[in-house]
Structure 1
């Protein structure tokens, strides 16, 4: 069964600070999703051992995502629990603020392209970590809204893509 790509409309939403546990990584774009999948599996294992698996959602955060260079990403899990028993899992915060957000299912590249195109078309600026770097984001993430235990096929997951807007 081939999954149909569905991309919802862009909405502007206010989000509070959200605490999470994450594994931050640097990887080339080629092979990035295999690296991210391993990190997400490690987070799921950790959350299960600590009886936190019903919290969430799990997400993939993009700090620097220049596909021709090294990507800096983080696999995360929304929780207030502080990891103390794992050498790679660290506490962090998805910062509160105003975000452009959409929900997609299917092809993640198309979902991301749609939100980036909306930003260009509307003249919206996204908040950068370092404005001198290409594709640098204070907070850009894809939250996996579908429970992976109920639907293992990633192309059928609903994914919330959100990027923090720059302030005036």
Structure 2
């Protein structure tokens, strides 16, 4: 729908739930965590300041993924489950799409290589750790339950 492009972004305060899940069940776990986070926001009277997202902290497509389902926002009422955090500032490779996740990810990765950019990653015992690799849901899942209609933005932090 737009991009790919390189865009500088300021840091964004977030509220999120982080878990380690099998790669093959990552999306069903995302949906479960998203429902849990939305319920927590409602119960605590917290209104997000921006979109919901899925952040991939550690990627290992052959095994476990460390993911976070979150939303832009702040609250003093965090607990053991919902934690305050931040998406870091920096230059992000960005691409928005609808309904074609695998193709969009391949396109953005190819564009990053063509531009001579590097993702901000480092080796991790569980796979590859990303400083910030997000799927940002520009369509609010609270108002549009059909995922095929969501506009999603991939935003991957690059090395400066």
TM-score, with structure 1 as normaliser: 0.87
Cα RMSD for the two superposed structures: 1.9
Counterpart of 1:4? none
The structure that is strand-richer by fraction is 2
Counterpart of 1:3? none
Where does 1:112-151 land on structure 2 (aligned, <5 Å)?
112-130=105-123, 135-151=128-144
**Structure 2 runs not aligned, ≥5 long:** none
Where does 1:70-81 land on structure 2 (aligned, <5 Å)?
70-81=64-75
**Structure 1 runs not aligned, ≥5 long:** 1-6
Where does 1:9-28 land on structure 2 (aligned, <5 Å)?
9-28=3-22
Quick one: distance in 1 between partners of 2:98 and 2:130?
23
Q: 3-state DSSP class of the match of 2:39?
A: helix
Where does 1:2-151 land on structure 2 (aligned, <5 Å)?
7-84=1-78, 86-130=79-123, 135-151=128-144
Residue 129 of structure 1 deviates from its aligned partner by: 4.0
Aligned residues: 160
Q: 3-state DSSP class of the match of 2:60?
A: coil
Residue 121 of structure 1 deviates from its aligned partner by: 2.0
TM-score, with structure 2 as normaliser: 0.91
Quick one: distance in 2 between partners of 1:72 and 1:133?
9
Q: Is the CA contact 1:23–1:39 (under 8 Å) kept in the aligned structure 2?
A: yes
Q: Provide runs of 4+ in structure 1 moved above 2 Å.
A: 50-56, 129-136
Q: 3-state DSSP class of the match of 1:125?
A: coil
Quick one: distance in 1 between partners of 2:35 and 2:77?
16
